[in-house]
Structure 1
Amino acid sequence: MIVLEVLIFTIVFLVIKYFWNNRRFYYLASKIPTSVFDYSIRGIYNIFTADSKMMFKLINQSFNNKSDIAKTWFFHVLFIVPNNPDDVKTIFNAKQCYDKPNFVKFSSKLEKGSVFGDLDYWQSHRKIMSPFFGHQGLKTLIPLFNEKSRILVKKLENMVDKEAFNIFHNLTALTLETILNVMEYDVDIQNREPKSRDVFIKYLDEYTKIAFMRMFKFWLHPNIIFKISSLYKKQCHSMSKCGMVFTNDIIKNIRTNTKTNEDEKPKSFMRALLNPKYNLTDDEIKDEVRSVILGGQDTSAIASSMTLLMLANNKDVQQKVVDELHQIFGKTQETPNIELENLNELVYLEMVINEVMRLYPVVPFVVRHVDEELILGENYRIPAKAAVIVPIIRIHKNKKYWGDDAEEFNPERFSKENFSKIHPYAFLPFAKGSRMCIGYRYAMMLMKIQLSLFLMRYEVDTDLKLDELEFTVQVMMTVCQGYMIKIRDRKC
């Protein structure tokens, strides 16, 4: 009995001590409006039993707040959700918000790289890689983008006038093959047989996502904990082993075929990472390779797939894109060689891509950690140790900034005249600030080239209706039904 009383007293004492030591944290949190998140027993039950599709819906609903700023509790973690672009600007540019939250750092101990690495790690690696993702560095990749996009167009010839197919598989093969070539690793993915190609992509794709899913299963999708079977663990181990061998092969290939001089200007970011003067460990280089594969493969493949699906549902817009292409390259089915100056001329195509990414952002939200107190909104003081979720998908559809038709597809929003009136932080497909996506120029250039060559050759159609689409989020937001399209030869 005495032991039980001591135990209860100790627990109560520790709880009181915890809240006393963190009294300012909870006081500041109490001043912030509560979100529409369902905290009832039923709401918590729904979170724990939801699949990834339902989880996305629940999270999206919790972002739909009328106030410019709101809070959501998930156990002891405080999430701040800003809906005002001015607050988003503050968050993305404030030094106390450069870092990732602790639950993300848990994942970063398993897989680092520039995506999840802590602040010091990210800053040092960003300096090494940034020159190769700038204007001059990407200019040298345009011939590669043309070459890989032509292979895509050629491989799709056997799908003309056939049943619907998921274009995402083809575009993923293109983007993965391209990014591996950028890493100076020559591999032929697009010309493989579909089954062989898809298995190859699946293993690498799943491998890069394992760390993300480790994080999600503990804080975003708890019921996965109860669903993991020995078969799943074995599969993850197999994929990890395959991916590790592949990553090692990329690094070994460059080390074997190039002699890196510390004083020599590197020709690629991979050679820069391997330069002895940066003193990076093998694990750091491998983490960077996996981060680049994930960022360079799925993001542009998803955005391009969604763009084709939208064009298939909006034939008038598809025709305007084709008219622009014909104006620049002439009326022909031949795949032109797209140069840098041509990319600047593809104004309407870029408007379409931007509007697709506004309505269907590949990354629907980003998370930051608050290291020191931060003032947002109407003098709301955000406590240190809180996590900030920037709900990109909600800000992109906020009628206050995009008009009453914010839910509708209208590329004209991104005309030079119209877009100049939009708050610069109301459009965030690649985030913004110092920690924005390093590969955003890479993605836009590749998307413009692959979509241009595709649309010069093929008309695209679909049986899918936009209002019937369902989405899921694991690492990125994807269509549950797949990006099912039909193609036929374009008549000039």
Structure 2
Amino acid sequence: MILWLLLVVLVLWTAQFRFRRRRMYKMASKYPHPTGELPLIGIAHKLSGNTEDIMTSLKQFSYEAMETNGITRGWLNHILYLLMVDPVDLEMVLKTCMEKDDLHRFIRKVIGYGGIFAPVPIWRRRRKILLPAFSPKIVEGFVEVFSEQSQIITRKLASLCGPEPFNLWPVISAYSLDSVCETTMGVKVNAQMDSNSPFLTCLASVLNIICERIFHLWLQPDWMFKFFPQYRKHQKYIKTLHDFTDLVIRKKRDELKNEKQCQPEADSHYDLGIYKRKSFLDLLISLSGGEKGYTDLELREEILTLTIAGTDTSAVSMCFTLKLLAKYPEVQEKLYKEIREVFGESNRPLVKGDLPNLKYLDRVVKESLRLFPPVPFVIRKVESDITLPSGLSVPRGSGIVVSIFGAHRDPNYWGPDADHFDPDRFLPERFNLQHACSYMPFSNGPRNCVGYQYALMSIKTAITSILRNYKVIGEPEKGPIPNIRLKLDIMLKAVEGYHVALEKRKPSSRIMTEPEIVATSLDS
């Protein structure tokens, strides 16, 4: 009798729930849906596998959307998500739907309300402080850091040089973390010299757990998550990241207090040139108002956000680019020729004035970012009904998956060779972007990535240094479409890693010794 009563209550509750949402169901019925959608759970079963399975499903949904006017729907149990690839619709979404989806709450457990993932009211205030911190004058000042760290990576790679392939990821991600920590916090974590760096290990591990929580429904409720083995690891990794960042902030506060360098509240009249080579932590303290500005908690949130976002995105981009150069040796040779034209026979370090002259490198990196954007999907919450330029209406309460991966490969905008690796498609005479949102490796709209120039400088500096010293060797691709298995670990990554071999370049492009680097830096 009790069971029957419970069943009746469940049926009545379900009927009432669906009745309240009848408008959403009616609107959703107008959208095309992906193959394999099931009653009640929708596409949940397609997102319950490992990170490669999840990426495979999202790729499939993206390609299906290309064939159905740029949109496809998917129910994740009771939540309606619309995956979109059409750049015209995406521009409106990114400009009007500013709030991040609730799934971002899992990464907020780690970084709190850092600017990228913060609710709109908090984001607006913090972005006003972040924007001047990422001004071109300040970012260009960090090229010296990138150049110094890239010299370390070339020396580190010397021990791995030879016919045996190895995975680039640990080396590249260590370079990225060293560069980011020095520019963000003003500290040297020396991850390149210590492959077991606790900060790097914890960072990679906690991102993997976050990805599991996002796509595995049984890990989402906090009370249920505590019963799984991932929970204790999750808490341990967070504590390590927080403790390290808090220590850096306390030391920086003391340093600034002792030196009496706190600046008044930021305004547009400051000469930001005086901040060159100061870390972002210095800048955020000063630009937010010194002792009356950001609290230690707010500083931790922003610094951790910049560190996590900067480390993984740059490392992913570099690894995919180098992997592509190994697959397409003719592209690598053309790039190496350009590098030799810029640097000649010298072994001087790269300076900021070299980057504008590396035009082919710019095209190679842009094409790599097009095919393999580090953040392939962005999810926004729909807080009020909107009508898209395509004419479709999106109901309040749904979520929109912005498929950057799909927009970058849509043949409707990129042509029939959209999946081909072709850096020359970015030649000025060929590059005719019909819409800004057709190419947005750093997102688009008001909430785009403020650090895109920073990331590009770091990526280009490291790749230049590596190619000046080594030839990257891999199995040449048989066709123009790169065959790389992909997975989604928050960022887009290669399932099998980034295995290549290195061949030493001739002595004229040898690696500089430590004294030479110091002497050259002093001369410049």
After TM superposition, is the score higher than 0.5?
A: yes
Where do residues 41-60 of structure 1 align in structure 2 (5 Å cutoff)? Answer: 46-47=45-46, 50-60=49-59
CA contact 2:147–2:462 (8 Å) conserved in 1? yes
CA contact 1:152–1:190 (8 Å) conserved in 2? no
Partner Cα separation in structure 2 for residue 228 and residue 471 of structure 1:
30
Number of the residue aligned with 2:423 = 411
1:271 aligned to 2:282? Answer: yes
Number of the residue aligned with 2:470 = 458
| SS of 2:216 mapped into structure 1 | helix
1:314 aligned to 2:328? Answer: yes
What residue identity is the alignment partner of 1:408?
H
Partner Cα separation in structure 2 for residue 230 and residue 108 of structure 1:
19
Identify which range, 236-245 or 461-470, moves more after superposition: 461-470
Residue 228 of structure 1: how far off its partner (Å) = 8.8
CA contact 1:165–1:485 (8 Å) conserved in 2? yes
Number of the residue aligned with 2:360 = 348
Number of the residue aligned with 1:328 = 342
Partner Cα separation in structure 1 for residue 414 and residue 292 of structure 2:
45
What residue identity is the alignment partner of 1:192?
M
| SS of 2:214 mapped into structure 1 | helix
From 80, 83, 87, give the equivalent of 1:81: 83
Partner Cα separation in structure 2 for residue 268 and residue 84 of structure 1:
39
CA contact 2:63–2:406 (8 Å) conserved in 1? yes
Number of the residue aligned with 2:143 = 142
Where do residues 373-392 of structure 1 align in structure 2 (5 Å cutoff)? Answer: 373-392=385-404
What residue identity is the alignment partner of 2:490?
V
**CA separation of 1:107 and 1:207: change in aligned 2, threshold 3 A:** closer
**CA separation of 1:411 and 1:36: change in aligned 2, threshold 3 A:** same
CA contact 1:430–1:436 (8 Å) conserved in 2? yes
What residue identity is the alignment partner of 2:504?
D
Q: 1:400-440 CA deviation, whole Å, 9 max, x = no partner? A: 11111111110011111221344321112111111011211
Number of the residue aligned with 1:287 = 301
Residue 448 of structure 1: how far off its partner (Å) = 1.0
Partner Cα separation in structure 2 for residue 41 and residue 380 of structure 1:
24
Residue 188 of structure 1: how far off its partner (Å) = 4.3
| SS of 1:390 mapped into structure 2 | strand
Residue 269 of structure 1: how far off its partner (Å) = 3.2
From 499, 507, 519, give the equivalent of 1:484: 499
CA contact 1:114–1:121 (8 Å) conserved in 2? yes
Q: 1:133-191 CA deviation, whole Å, 9 max, x = no partner? A: 12112021111111111111122222222521111211111111111111343224255
Number of the residue aligned with 1:90 = 92
From 226, 231, 234, give the equivalent of 1:233: 231
| SS of 2:164 mapped into structure 1 | coil
Q: 1:314-356 CA deviation, whole Å, 9 max, x = no partner? A: 1111111111112222144x2x333333211211101001111
Give the TM-score normalised by structure 2.
Answer: 0.84
Number of the residue aligned with 1:299 = 313
**CA separation of 1:213 and 1:136: change in aligned 2, threshold 3 A:** farther
Number of the residue aligned with 1:243 = 241
Residue 268 of structure 1: how far off its partner (Å) = 4.3
- Segments of structure 2 that go 5 or more residues without pairing to the other structure are 267-274, 509-524
Where do residues 55-74 of structure 1 align in structure 2 (5 Å cutoff)? Answer: 55-65=54-64, 66-68=67-69, 69-74=71-76
1:130 aligned to 2:131? Answer: yes
Identify which range, 9-18 or 318-327, moves more after superposition: 9-18
Number of the residue aligned with 2:520 = none
From 381, 391, 399, give the equivalent of 1:369: 381
**CA separation of 1:193 and 1:84: change in aligned 2, threshold 3 A:** closer
CA contact 1:148–1:178 (8 Å) conserved in 2? yes
**CA separation of 1:390 and 1:238: change in aligned 2, threshold 3 A:** same
CA contact 2:329–2:476 (8 Å) conserved in 1? no
- Segments of structure 1 that go 5 or more residues without pairing to the other structure are none
What residue identity is the alignment partner of 1:19?
R
What residue identity is the alignment partner of 2:86?
N
**CA separation of 1:216 and 1:280: change in aligned 2, threshold 3 A:** farther
1:38 aligned to 2:37? Answer: yes
| SS of 1:409 mapped into structure 2 | coil
What residue identity is the alignment partner of 2:307?
I
CA contact 2:381–2:399 (8 Å) conserved in 1? yes
Partner Cα separation in structure 1 for residue 35 and residue 6 of structure 2:
37
What residue identity is the alignment partner of 1:166?
N
**CA separation of 1:432 and 1:262: change in aligned 2, threshold 3 A:** same
Q: 1:62-115 CA deviation, whole Å, 9 max, x = no partner? A: 222211222111111111122211111111122xx0101223246536633122
Partner Cα separation in structure 2 for residue 188 and residue 117 of structure 1:
27
**CA separation of 1:403 and 1:331: change in aligned 2, threshold 3 A:** farther
What residue identity is the alignment partner of 1:337?
P
| SS of 1:147 mapped into structure 2 | helix
**CA separation of 1:28 and 1:45: change in aligned 2, threshold 3 A:** closer
Residue 15 of structure 1: how far off its partner (Å) = 3.5
Partner Cα separation in structure 2 for residue 128 and residue 155 of structure 1:
37
CA contact 1:328–1:345 (8 Å) conserved in 2? yes
Partner Cα separation in structure 2 for residue 249 and residue 387 of structure 1:
38
Residue 235 of structure 1: how far off its partner (Å) = 2.8
**CA separation of 1:230 and 1:210: change in aligned 2, threshold 3 A:** closer
| SS of 2:429 mapped into structure 1 | helix
| SS of 2:75 mapped into structure 1 | strand
From 434, 438, 442, give the equivalent of 1:426: 438
Number of the residue aligned with 1:108 = 108
What residue identity is the alignment partner of 2:157?
L
Q: 1:354-373 CA deviation, whole Å, 9 max, x = no partner? A: 11111111111111111111
| SS of 2:420 mapped into structure 1 | coil
Number of the residue aligned with 2:17 = 18
What residue identity is the alignment partner of 1:85?
P
